[in-house]
Chains A and B, each alone.
Chain A
Amino acid sequence: MFHRHDTRPSRPHGWRSSSAILLALLALILAACSGNTTSSGAAASGGGGEAGAGFEAPTEDVALILWNPFTGPDGPFFEEIVTEFNDATPTCQVEVATQPGAEYIGKLEAAATANELPHVIAAGYDALPGLVENGIVAPIDDFAAQGGYGPELFPEAIWNAGEWKGQRVGIPLDTHPMVFFYNKALFTEAGLDPEAPPADRESFEAAITAISENTDADGYQMVSSGPGANFLVGIQWASLFYQGGGEWTNADRTEVTINSEAGVQAAEYLASLVNDLDVPTVESDAEVLAFAGGQNGMVMSGIWETTRYNEALGEDLGVAPVPEIFGPGTWGGSHNLAVTSRGVEDDNTKACAYYFIDWFSQNSLQWGAAGQIPARNSVRESDEFKNASGEGLLPFIAKMAPLAEAVQFLPTIPGSGDILFVGSGAGEAATLVIGGSDAQEVLDAAAEANTEVLVQNKERYGF
């Protein structure tokens, strides 16, 4: 059900998988009740044919192994695209193996020691520097040069996230930002305009009050505990942090600066929703279930929750960009396709890997139907994407596509995701502030702890 894998290295996998089973059951029940199934991949992507792509399929037969962490509903979409590719290119055949997200890096390391690395991997941008430093992922500057890949083909932030030490290490596939979901039926019941989702602080707070007072549901719910708290609070905090102009580190990457004014303001705002607007505190993922069950009017979740919400709420589901509480800015992750050291070992394999990545990038429209925003500009700007309709996720994703330009990322350095998600990170600090701790105090401590780690990593990896 989830695929927060790449960005959420800290969450224990066991809890995740067990709860995923539960949620899968729940989703099954809900799907059975509503009686409609989403049509998967009705719109086949029409080949790329974009100028500047100078790749050719290898002349000899090559069999590639590709690993991805897509254990959620997006997995089958990925495989469908690969099947299409395999049918089109008999000399370059790709076999997909999906690995559980939480163990992804560990499995890659184990495969590296056993000399059994896959040739191509899909991974979160923040995992790439560590993988490069461990010799698992190979830099592919020649790919970018040969194919004319550069910031013109992608939103700049997304493109830049795939760069480490001045080298190109990943080709962006998608972005998965946090988005704002609301229940249109509850909006109507509360006397709000269901077609005008809140876009700023004032309207957001007004909507919370209106829904809480005029319906049986909560206007909003704030996570304050549970196994997923660091992550779920973390992405909300990060969005507000970006909105306030926050920077993760200083310019020369020697100090973590999450305790800046923007950081404190973000944490205090989340706490103020609880203290001033009587937003109830809940365990992690309870807010997600409550929203799907119609007992929570608004929720800010990763875009990957669209599937579940769509199945549960149908036409009542409204989506919009995250309200601009302090200004524009949204947390997001981004999957990249990368080539491993084994993938560049000989020219034929490399040719096949490059050809595949280029093909996949051009044909990533279908990946939008999996619930992620395609990274490539030409795909997002295509009429097929913009005018998407029907029951699948594509219409929702198309609606949220402008977020691809607004989404911001952590610095692409080893361990950057930990500044937000791991114990003693910003997500945990924000959770503590919601629980009543002093924002400046806990963020100071978190910044200090993360600076220790940053300095250590700087020494280790030399950046």
Chain B
Amino acid sequence: MSSLATAEPQRTKGPGLGSLLGRGRKPKKDVRRRIGEKAFTPYLFIAPHFILFSVFIVFPFFLGIWISLHDSTALRDGPFVGLRWYTQLFDPENRTQFPRFWNSVWNTMIFVLISVPLLVSAGLALASLLNQRLRGRNFFRGIYFVPWTLSVSVVSLVWWWMFNGNAGFITLLLQNLLGESPNWLASNPGAWITIIVATLWWTIGFNTIIFLAGMQGISLDLYEAASIDGANKWQQFRAITLPSLRPILLLVVTLQVIASFQLVGQPQLITGGGPPSELGGETTSVLLHIVNTGFFGRRELSLAAAMALIVAAIMVIVSIVNFRLFSSERS
């Protein structure tokens, strides 16, 4: 009785939980339809994506949870082991899985923290330059975008050739000019610099193009008005370009955070996850660690599934924080 009494005032405030669940007020029946439109028509429109989404996202997600609770191999489900893999990953006493997994998460964080501001600001700067009226503008736009069309193996190979300690172009160049060169791939920060430079060169074109498209949508009247009022280029950039680009910025930052979190090919191919460390490599990203765990060497599929779910949870949290940050700025 008392619970009903407390629930009652809530309903007056708006559509409470009751109405959302179909209780309370009767749902309206007068959904307006076009002539000839059946009740299921809207669902038909959703169906293609929903089916693909179910097959490739929803089903694998739940299968991943299932696998992570068993001792599975590629060929059999294996016995149910409960939270064994999660315990290994969260138990600081564990000498194998705990330190290596969190080391790889930490490595990934470092990469995200360095690469996201760099790639976003560099993309913004490049877009501003390419938005000017300059000769060969389209040529430069093309040039900066071309690397983005390459595959990670090509990019990694190119930069491995630039930086490797044996006959790398940059290594040899520095040796000839300065007499010595750091061993880029064998120690840090050299290894991270290599990976970040390669990533910058590879993906900068994408951010640039998005920013450029956003900039071209800004009305020129605003700039004209600002220049009449005596605003210089920098003031125009801060007061007009940046605020107008905010939705684009949210998109780019969100995509960039996710993309940087998914770092795997560059360390795999350029540094092999090294320089070696007692925690399993200083540039081993979390995805690389998952791939190595699940599909190479020990092939611990279930353990890798547990790791993947933990990473998914982390990424959800990061994305929520990201959205909050931007939406609070807007209000």
Using a CB–CB cutoff of 8 Å, the interface residues on chain A facing chain B are 9-15, 18, 21-22, 102, 105-106, 109-110, 112-113, 134-136, 224-230, 281-286, 289-290, 415, 417-418, 421-424, 428, 431-432, 435, 437, 442, 445, 448-449, 452-453, 460
Q: Is the CB of B272 within 8 A of A18?
A: no
How many A-B residue pairs have C-beta atoms within 8 angstroms? Tell me: 130
29 pairs, CB–CB < 8 Å, chain A vs chain B: A10-B292, A10-B297, A11-B272, A15-B272, A21-B157, A22-B161, A102-B296, A105-B299, A106-B295, A109-B75, A225-B183, A225-B275, A225-B276, A226-B271, A227-B268, A227-B271, A227-B272, A283-B164, A283-B165, A283-B185, A284-B272, A286-B164, A422-B292, A422-B298, A423-B280, A423-B297, A431-B276, A437-B278, A445-B95
CB distance from B210 to the nearest CB of A (A): 28
Contact A14 B269 (CB under 8 A): yes
CA distance A18 to B272 in the complex (A): 12
Once the chains bind, are B165 and A282 in contact (CB under 8 Å)?
Answer: yes
**8 Å CB contact of A424 from B71, B100, B156, B269:** B100
Query: What 1/0 flags go to B161-175 for Cβ under 8 Å of A?
Result: 100111100000000
Q: How far is the CA of A12 from the CA of B276 in the complex (A)?
A: 15
Taking the closest CB of chain B, its distance from the CB of A417, in whole angstroms, is 8
Interface residues of B (CB under 8 A from A): 71, 73-76, 94-96, 100, 153, 156-157, 160-161, 164-167, 183, 185-187, 265, 268-269, 271-278, 280-281, 288, 291-292, 295-299
A102 CB contacts on chain B under 8 angstroms: 296
The distance in angstroms between the C-alpha atoms of A415 and B277, with both chains bound, is 22
CA distance in complex: A220, B272 (Å): 23
Contact A452 B96 (CB under 8 A): yes
Contact of A22 among B157, B268, B280 (CB under 8 A): B157
Least Cβ–Cβ distance between A423 and chain B, in angstroms: 5
The chain A residue with its CB closest to the CB of B161 is A22
When distances are taken between beta carbons in the complex, the residues of chain B under 8 Å from A290 are 166
Query: Are A282 and B280 also in contact (CB < 8 A) when A134-B75, A225-B275, A453-B298 are?
Result: no
CB distance from A9 to the nearest CB of B (A): 5
Q: How far is the CA of A289 from the CA of B277 in the complex (A)?
A: 25
A9 to B294, CA, bound (A): 12
Which residue of chain B has its CB nearest to the CB of A230?
B276
Pick the residue among B166, B265, B280 that contacts A289 (CB under 8 A). B166
Q: Are A435 and B156 in contact (CB under 8 A)?
A: no
Q: When A22-B157, A283-B164 are in contact, do A424 and B96 touch as well, CB less than 8 Å? A: yes
The closest CB in chain A to the CB of B78 belongs to A460
B307 to A: closest C-beta gap in Å: 14
Which chain B residue shows the least CB distance to A442?
A: B278
Alpha-carbon distance A422/B160, docked complex (angstroms): 23
Residues from chain A with a CB closer than 8 A to the CB of B292 are: 10, 12, 422-423
Q: Which residues of B are found within 8 Å of A109, using beta-carbon distances?
A: 73-75
Task: Collect the chain A residues with CB atoms within 8 Å of residue B185's CB.
Answer: 225-226, 283
Docked Cα-Cα span, A282 to B292, in Å, equals 24
Known: A106-B295, A109-B73, A445-B95. 19 other contacts (CB 8 A): A11-B272, A11-B296, A12-B296, A14-B268, A18-B156, A22-B157, A110-B74, A225-B186, A225-B275, A226-B271, A227-B272, A228-B272, A229-B276, A283-B165, A283-B183, A423-B297, A424-B280, A452-B94, A452-B96
When distances are taken between beta carbons in the complex, the residues of chain A under 8 Å from B291 are: 12
List the A side residues contacting B288 at CB < 8 Å. Answer: 12
Taken together as a complex, chains A and B put the C-alpha atoms of A428 and B100 apart, in Å, by: 13
Q: A9-B297, A421-B297 are in contact. Are A435 and B272 (CB under 8 A)?
A: no
| CB contact between A18 and one of B71, B157, B280 (< 8 Å): that residue | B157
Residues of the A chain whose Cβ atoms lie less than 8 Å from the Cβ of B94? 452
Which chain B residue lies CB-closest to A285? Answer: B166
**Which residues of the other chain, B, contact A135 by a CB distance below 8 angstroms?**
75
Interface contact B268-A12, CB-CB below 8 Å: yes
CA distance A219 to B203 in the complex (A): 43
The residues of B that contact A460 with a CB separation of less than 8 Å are: 71
Would you call B96 and A112 a contact (CB within 8 A)? no
The closest CB in chain A to the CB of B268 belongs to A12
Complex CA distance for A418 and B300, rounded to whole angstroms:
12
Q: Which residues of B contact A428 (CB under 8 A)?
A: 276, 280
Partner of B186, one of A12, A224, A285: A224
Tell me if B74 and A227 are in contact (CB < 8 A).
no
Q: Which residues of A contact B271 (CB under 8 A)?
A: 226-227
Known contacts: A18-B269, A437-B278. The answer to whether A283 contacts B166 by CB under 8 A is yes
Neighbour of B75 across the interface among A113, A423, A435, CB < 8 A: A113
Partner of A227, one of B75, B167, B274: B274
7 smallest beta-carbon distances between A and B, as pairs:
A227-B272, A422-B297, A225-B186, A286-B166, A449-B96, A109-B74, A10-B297
**In the complex, how many angstroms separate the beta carbon of A110 from the nearest chain B beta carbon?**
7
For B268, list chain A residues within 8 Å (CB). 12, 14-15, 227
Task: Select B74's contact among A113, A285, A431, A435, beta carbons within 8 Å.
Answer: A113
Query: Are A418 and B274 in contact, CB atoms less than 8 angstroms apart?
Result: no
Contacts of B165 in A (CB 8 A): 282-283, 286
Give the most central of B269, B273, B276, B281: most A CB within 10 Å: B276
Whole-angstrom distance between the alpha carbons of A113 and B75 in the complex?
7
Check A418 against B95 for contact (C-beta < 8 Å): no
Q: Could you say which residues of chain B place their CB within 8 Å of the CB of A21?
A: 157
Min C-beta distance of B95 to chain A, whole Å = 5
Q: How far apart sit A435 and B160, CA to CA, in the bound complex (Å)?
A: 22
Nearest CB in chain A: distance from B162 CB, A: 13
Q: Among A113, A225, A289, A448, which residue has its beta carbon within 8 angstroms of that of B95?
A: A448
Chain B residue with Cβ nearest A113: B75
Inter-chain contacts of A448 with B (CB < 8 A):
95-96
Shortest A286–chain B CB gap in Å is: 4
Minimum distance in angstroms from B303 CB to a CB of chain A: 10
Complex CA distance for A22 and B156, rounded to whole angstroms: 13
B278 neighbours in A (Cβ, 8 Å): 432, 437, 442, 445
Q: Which A-chain residue is minimally distant from B186 (CB atoms)?
A: A225
Known: A424-B100, A445-B95. A14 touches B265 (CB 8 A): yes
Q: Which residue of B lies closest to A135 (CB)?
A: B75
How distant is the Cα of A237 from the Cα of B74 in the complex, in angstroms? 32
Give bound CA distance, A417 to B298, whole Å: 9
Distance (whole angstroms) from the CB of B320 to the closest CB of chain A: 32
Contact partners of A423 in chain B: CB under 8 A: 100, 273, 280-281, 292, 297
How distant is A445 from chain B, measured CB to nearest CB, in Å? 6
Complex interface: chain A residues within 8 A of B265 (CB): 14
Within the complex, the shortest CB–CB distance from A230 to chain B, in Å, comes to: 8
* Interface contact B269-A12, CB-CB below 8 Å: yes
**Once the chains are docked, how many angstroms separate the CA of A437 from the CA of B278?**
9
How long is the Cα–Cα vector from A392 to B73 in the complex, in angstroms? 43
Q: How far is the CA of A227 from the CA of B265 in the complex (A)?
A: 13
